[in-house]
A = this chain, B = another copy of it.
Amino acid sequence: MPTGYRHTRDDVIYPEDEYELTEDGRIPIPYRRTAKYRDGNTIDWLHEEGIERERNHALQSQAGIRGILLPALESARMWFIVIVTGMGIGIAGAWLDVLVKWLGDLREGRCSYGFFYNSNACCTGLDPGEVCQEWQTWGNYFHVKSILGNSMLQASIYVVLAIAFAGSAALLVVTYAPHAFHTGIPEIKAILGGYVFDSFLTPWTLIIKALGLALSVASGLSLGKEGPLVHVACCMAYLLTRLFKEFRHNEAQKRRVLAAAAAAGVSVAFGSPLGGVLFGLEELDTFANESDVMWRGFVASAIAAVALQWVNPFGTAKLVLFQVTFVSDTWRAFELIPWVTLGVIGGVLGSLLIKLNVEIALYRRNSVLRDWPILEVVSVSAVTAAISYLIVFARVQTSELVANLFQECDPTKGDYHGLCNPTATLENVFLLCLTAILKIVLTSWTFGMMVPAGIFLPTIGIGACLGRAMGLIMQSLYRAYPTAWIFLSCPPDPSVRCISPGFYAVIGASAMLGGVTRMTISLIVILFELTGALSHVLPIMICIMTSKWVGDALGKDGIYTVWIAMRRYPWLPPANYRDSGETAASLMKPLNRVVVIEDGVTTVGELQDLLANYDFHGFPIMDSHTEFVGYATKDELRTVLDRLQLDQNEVDLAKKCTFSQNRLRVAAEERVDLSDALEDSIIQLRKEVPQELVVNMFQKLNLRQILFTHAGKLTGLVTKRDVVDLLTSHFPHAAALSEHPQQHS
């Protein structure tokens, strides 16, 4: 037996003893056909469905009460994981919020009566108007009297702690869980689409990503917690699936659970249970395939939101993060002009941010930075902290900035850094635009460094700055020319409010998000649930429409799609593909380039060599006249060969492998029957079919390969990788950041 074969066997994820052999030493039916994938593979949905099907039939055919109870237990396990994941991520999300708030506040000061109180908790129980004495800035705490000394101390603690937080996040990630960097959404999209990436979902990744996320968010780097929370939720669900055999052994079932977990993650990240479901529907593109999956996502999402609300980290008992209270419930037609303009700006800047981010990622990969990831994080966080400290709007956490920018000016509530001062409009607009530009540059750099980092919140921050600036401009125009024809629909008295700059900030955030992520429906729902701005659904829709249109004109893909292409994950974009007249023949790997097994000709020894030498997922089987017989995966072939060895102790390597009735041509003592290894679900096409149809079938049926035959003869094969390469061929940097070596069929 070739050593290659042995060696690969050791890599198998599930050791043999988990099979629970039956009394006569055979592998029991439900577990017999077990797929064994390694990281970097793509699962075969049809094959996994086949396993599931066999399992279900085996369970249902159990006699008596077992035949009823066992399937019910199956489904109960699925729901158990969904519900526990929902609760887990809800609670984890809430406590992460608390941790981030405390770490963030620590950069400015401490609570006099307890180190572990954040500024809000420290100052509770005060009467309105009373000044909080309990929260001490570091200057106060160290009794620094001089103003200069005070600000120097504040600034240096601010910067040093930022560096410490970001550095330790990077250290954790680099040392313990390299996969915990970045947002995680591209990987999860790929995993849900069938990519095998188990090391991305380990318990270590879970812990490091959660801890690192808290540290990196608190460090004030330009990043958000939204995407990474989805990753954390998926890690939790994955951990739970390890408890049950039927999930460990079935990659399709595992993905169904992960989809629900991802929805729960979004639900917690934005406090948006409905947005979570729609994110799963639109961005993860998983629910389209099965209504059950959507249903479970729905439940997980609701439970996660309940758990979050129950923990109630900040005592507001509200899911709406950035409550928006508009003074007027109506909007006026002329406002569509600035709003559509914001949409255009969002589309342009969103595409710019994506391009910049790609260039920086390529530079990072190909320069000396590659070897110094922690140093990079430390330097960027130092620069971020130093610059941010100078600009008043950039100094606070992005979430606080956004909350204030979304707020309308209200004389009774106090003015946020002079934002409502009508005489300082120009300064404010300048500062806001400066903050936006700074954040675009910093975000492009930060998103891709070795720390957990989401893109959502910084994008909202950039958009909110731009939107608020536009709102301030419109407001000052209105104040200057209240009787101009464009403002005719406003009340003639300029002291009455007509323009709501806070809502302009919401519009700006929508535009920017549309430009960066290219999401539509789920984005709108998330923005509603985030702001409560239901009465203004139409402007948000129109603005997202515009920004998506403009963005698509400047570059077809959103930032997640771009990262998927760069890392070369085998993920099929759901976009409509239109060929320009090609047939499948131009995509197909012709027969002479395919490794095949010949029915009744290939010997057991040759087969073992094939299995050891080729990294293909499976092999087509044909007879000596190129007549197509079937397809068998490598794993099935191995399982069947193993079983033969169990039965017969030693298989004669010179015996011929047969798969069909052709075995009659080979004498009984000269052959071994491997027909058990044949796949049931084989899709055959003719090579004359339009390429569109082939791509479409891969997209909708989640196939791994299609075999091409003509008049019963095998002519070639197309794998998922071929289709992915076809669909990403327009993107210049495809596979630039690919981790795994070139995968074969």
Q: What is A's interface to B at a CB cutoff of 8 Å?
A: 46, 49-50, 53, 56-57, 60, 273-274, 277-278, 281, 288-292, 294-295, 298-299, 301-302, 305-306, 309, 317-320, 329-330, 520-521, 524-525, 528-529, 532, 534-535, 537-538, 541-542, 545, 574-576, 578-581, 583, 627-628, 680-686, 688-690, 692-693, 696-697, 700-701, 709, 711-713
Contacts and interface: CB of A to CB of B under 8 A. Distances in A.
A60 B579 CA distance: 12
A302 B546 CA distance: 12
A243 B583 CA distance: 32
A164 to B, nearest CB: 38
A693 B682 CA distance: 10
A689 B700 contact: no
A464 to B, nearest CB: 20
5 closest A-B pairs (Cβ-Cβ)? Answer: A712-B712, A288-B288, A700-B700, A711-B712, A302-B541
Given A298-B521, A680-B688, A320 B712 contact: no
When all copies of this chain in the complex are counted, the total is 2
B274 A524 contact: yes
Given A711-B627, A711-B628, A53 B680 contact: no
A516 to B, nearest CB: 18
30 contacts: A46-B693, A49-B692, A53-B581, A273-B537, A274-B525, A291-B574, A294-B521, A295-B520, A298-B520, A302-B542, A305-B537, A306-B538, A317-B330, A318-B329, A318-B330, A318-B535, A319-B537, A319-B538, A525-B525, A529-B534, A529-B537, A532-B535, A628-B711, A681-B689, A681-B693, A683-B685, A684-B686, A684-B709, A697-B701, A711-B712
A71 to B, nearest CB: 10
A680 B697 CA distance: 15
Nearest to A684: B684
Contact of A541 (B273, B281, B681): B273
A308 to B, nearest CB: 10
Contacts of A579: 53
Contacts of A686: 682, 684
A53 B274 CA distance: 38
Given A525-B525, A685-B684, A688-B680, A545 B302 contact: yes
A696 B701 contact: yes
Given A534-B320, A692-B49, A541 B298 contact: yes
Contact of A274 (B57, B521, B712): B521
A289 B700 contact: yes
A594 B686 CA distance: 22
Contacts of A709: 684, 712
A594 to B, nearest CB: 19
Contacts of A697: 701
A50 B690 contact: yes
A506 to B, nearest CB: 14
Contacts of A49: 690, 692-693
Contacts of A273: 537-538, 541
B309 A538 contact: yes
Contact of A53 (B50, B56, B302, B690): B690
Contact of A532 (B520, B534, B575, B628): B534
A60 B690 contact: no
Contacts of A576: 290-292
A529 B525 CA distance: 11
A709 B713 CA distance: 12
A53 B295 CA distance: 36
Nearest to A333: B310
Contacts of A681: 689-690, 693
Contacts of A317: 330
A169 B711 CA distance: 60
B575 A291 contact: yes
Nearest to A528: B534
Contacts of A532: 534-535
Contacts of A528: 528, 534
A581 B29 CA distance: 14
A712 B701 CA distance: 23
Contacts of A278: 278, 521
A7 B532 CA distance: 62
Contacts of A309: 538
A302 B544 CA distance: 11
A219 B586 CA distance: 64
A60 B580 contact: yes
A714 to B, nearest CB: 11
A373 B35 CA distance: 61
Nearest to A46: B693
A74 to B, nearest CB: 12
A60 B580 CA distance: 9
Nearest to A56: B578
A697 B49 CA distance: 14
Contacts of A627: 711-712
Contacts of A628: 711
A287 to B, nearest CB: 9
Contacts of A693: 46, 49, 681
A689 B713 CA distance: 19
Nearest to A532: B534
Contacts of A292: 576
A274 B537 CA distance: 8
Contacts of A692: 49, 53
Contacts of A329: 318
A228 B521 CA distance: 25
Contacts of A56: 578
Given A291-B574, A525-B525, A580-B60, A299 B545 contact: yes
Contacts of A683: 683, 685
A729 B306 CA distance: 40
Given A53-B690, A281-B281, A627-B712, 17 more contacts: A50-B690, A56-B578, A57-B581, A277-B521, A291-B575, A302-B542, A306-B542, A317-B330, A318-B330, A320-B535, A529-B534, A534-B534, A627-B711, A681-B690, A682-B685, A684-B709, A711-B712
